[in-house]
Structure 1
Amino acid sequence: MNFFSTVKGSLLEGFYPKGWNLEKIDQCCAQSPEDKVKRQSFWNDDFQLVPSENENDFSMMMGHEIAQNIYRTKEAGKKLALILPVGPMGMYKWVVYFLKEWNTDCAHVYGFNMDEWSDAEGNTLPSTSDGSFERAMEQAFYGPLGDLTVPKEQRNFATKENLPTYAEKIANLKTEGAELITVFGIGRVMHIAFWEPHFAEEFDRVEDWKKQTHRIAAQLHPLTIEQNAITSFKSRTTLIPCRANTVGPGLFLQSDRIIGGCDGTLGRGMQWQGLSFAVTLQYGPDMWIPSSFMPTLPGKLFYLEELAGPLTPESN
């Protein structure tokens, strides 16, 4: 049976983003593990893949990369703007560890949380709430750094009042010689931050899509909701807002460097991120696949080797 011939007329018709080429997506997934990570012509010359065998190594190496860039810019006397995710998260304890070992403070760092859950008007969860990205960052990164931490006035969170100021703040920092580094994960539907693939339907030209710096109360794809139910909410879909405030390609594609991470394995041979990883690397830049632009930027993408597959069906 041909899967693609059964989509039309099914519940899946209209569920997947209109611009997705499902056969091309499947071809990316069907490649051998070696071919999935093979360098492509559209990759930046300074884009590198960094494999790891297990989650502990992954978190340590990704944390070291973030800390090393904080240290490097500190030594160079430069300011550093960091667009930061809440997922993956394991690297933050290692960022803290290395910065404390090196006694490197973050007075030169400006943090910009890339997204936050919201209601339909863009109102966000209180910072003290379970599930709040601001709370998660304070507990995992800013708080544990102690005296070495990023000054409070240099921590930015994606509220409906503050998110629209990100573009100007980052532009001003760049005029002062600051570097911009985006740290990111890749979503089930290949989003970066909560910049979802179906937003592409609103734009006739990719150039206009690339100019979008942010979105308030962005409508999330159902697969994004389910991804977060699995990874962050102990399966409780009913707790997850259907909207979020998020940065857009007009910010993350300005990055001088990127530090990405894919660690979406679940144990017992199960995973949710293999498709997203393969398509990001092999599909080619396309505004319906936001993460497909990340290999066009200089930097590193850390990943668990299991995600490369082979991505073949099995019973668990």
Structure 2
Amino acid sequence: MNFLSTCKGSLMESFFPQGWDLAKIDQCASGSKADFYLRQPHWHEGFQPVPCESLEQFNAYMGHEIAWTIKEARDRGEKLALILPVGPMGMYQWTVYFLKAWNVSASHVYGFNMDEWSDAEGNTLPPTNSGAFQYAMENSFYNLLGEGTIPVNQRYFATKEQLPTYAAKIAELKQDGAKLAVIYGIGRVFHIAFWEPQFAGEYGSEAEWAAQTHRIGAKLHPLTIEQNAITSFKSRTTLVPCYANTIGPGLFLQADYAIGGADGALGRGMMWQGMSLRTTLKYGPDPWIPSSYMPTLPGKLFFLEELAAPLEPELN
């Protein structure tokens, strides 16, 4: 039996985003470990997936790549715009470690948080709240850099006041010779930042979708809420906000370089990100699968090697 056919007429049929090709997603999710590593025609020649044997290696590799990007920009005498996630997070301690070891200041960097929890009107938590993404960035990255930190007036957070200014500021920096690098994770429903797949249904063309720079009070997909309940809220779904302010493809697709991370393994053979990673790599660019565009950009995507294993069911 093809169990995909059993979705017809069920709650799941309306639960999944309308534009998802479930058969194609399942095809992306199937296959051997060797098949996982086959380069795809739509990948940028400068795109490279990088396997990591452990979470510790993942954090160190990804942190090194971010630090090296900051160092290279400084060596060239360029400003650098960085779009930054809160998830994954473990790489930031290593970014700080390498920058301090090399005695490299980040004063030439402009940091743009890619998203932030909000209510439906875009109101966000105060930055002193431990649940706010601004709080996480300040305490896990900026404050740890010490004297070589990114200046306060070069830090931008996804509030309803600051987020709409991102596009103009990044354009101004690029005109001044700056490069744009985006650091990203991949959501359970293939989002980048909180740009959700169902948003694709609101636009008449791919070009219109790709021009969107941000959204205030973005309504999150239920699977995004449940993903965050598992990864950030100790399973407590009732604490997870249903909305967020987020950048859109009009910003992340401008990146001169992209550094991605997929660390969604839970132990004992359990994971939440295997299908998301495989679909990101193999689906091909499609607005209903926002992460499918990331392999079209130059950069590296670090991932736990466990996620590349065949995605076959097993009893735990």
TM bucket (normalised to shorter chain) is over 0.9
Q: TM-score, normalised by structure 2?
A: 0.99
Kindly provide the CA deviation profile for residues 206-240 of structure 1, in whole angstroms up to 9, marking residues without a partner as x.
00000000000000000000000000011111111
For 1:124-203, list aligned pairs within 5 A: 124-203=124-203
Distance 2:75 2:103 in 1: 12
Match of 1:302, SS state, is: strand
Report the alpha carbon displacement of residue 278 of structure 1 after superposing the two structures with TM: 0.3
Structure-1 residue corresponding to 2:249: 249
Q: Do residues 19 (structure 1) and 19 (structure 2) align?
A: yes
Distance 1:37 1:193 in 2: 25
Structure-2 residue corresponding to 1:274: 274
Distance 2:124 2:3 in 1: 40
Match of 2:10, SS state, is: coil
The amino acid across from 1:107 in the alignment is S
Distance 1:3 1:294 in 2: 30
Kindly provide the CA deviation profile for residues 47-100 of structure 1, in whole angstroms up to 9, marking residues without a partner as x.
011111100000000000000010110011000000000000000000000001
Match of 1:121, SS state, is: coil
Distance 2:187 2:36 in 1: 18
Match of 1:189, SS state, is: coil
Percent identity for Structure 1 against Structure 2: 67
Kindly provide the CA deviation profile for residues 243-292 of structure 1, in whole angstroms up to 9, marking residues without a partner as x.
00000000000000000000000001100000000000000100000000
Match of 1:71, SS state, is: helix
For 1:220-231, list aligned pairs within 5 A: 220-231=220-231
Alignment length, in residue pairs?
316
Structure-2 residue corresponding to 1:216: 216
Structure-2 residue corresponding to 1:99: 99
Match of 1:122, SS state, is: coil
Structure-1 residue corresponding to 2:51: 51
Distance 2:46 2:87 in 1: 24
Distance 1:37 1:301 in 2: 12
Structure-2 residue corresponding to 1:65: 65
Distance 2:106 2:2 in 1: 54
Contact 1:115–1:158, Cα closer than 8 Å, also in 2: yes
The amino acid across from 2:137 in the alignment is M
Structure 1 residue ranges (4+ consecutive) displaced by more than 2 angstroms after TM superposition = none
The amino acid across from 2:274 in the alignment is G
Distance 1:131 1:19 in 2: 32
**How large is the RMSD of aligned CA atoms in angstroms?**
0.6
Q: Do residues 3 (structure 1) and 3 (structure 2) align?
A: yes
Distance 1:140 1:52 in 2: 22
Kindly provide the CA deviation profile for residues 84-127 of structure 1, in whole angstroms up to 9, marking residues without a partner as x.
00000000000000001011111100000000000010000111
Distance 1:283 1:72 in 2: 32
Distance 2:18 2:230 in 1: 25
Structure-2 residue corresponding to 1:289: 289
Report the alpha carbon displacement of residue 155 of structure 1 after superposing the two structures with TM: 0.4
Distance 1:85 1:135 in 2: 12
Report the alpha carbon displacement of residue 2 of structure 1 after superposing the two structures with TM: 1.9
Structure-2 residue corresponding to 1:84: 84
Kindly provide the CA deviation profile for residues 13-62 of structure 1, in whole angstroms up to 9, marking residues without a partner as x.
11000000001000111111111221011100000111111000000000
Report the alpha carbon displacement of residue 10 of structure 1 after superposing the two structures with TM: 1.1
Distance 2:303 2:187 in 1: 14
Distance 2:108 2:21 in 1: 43
Distance 1:92 1:5 in 2: 43
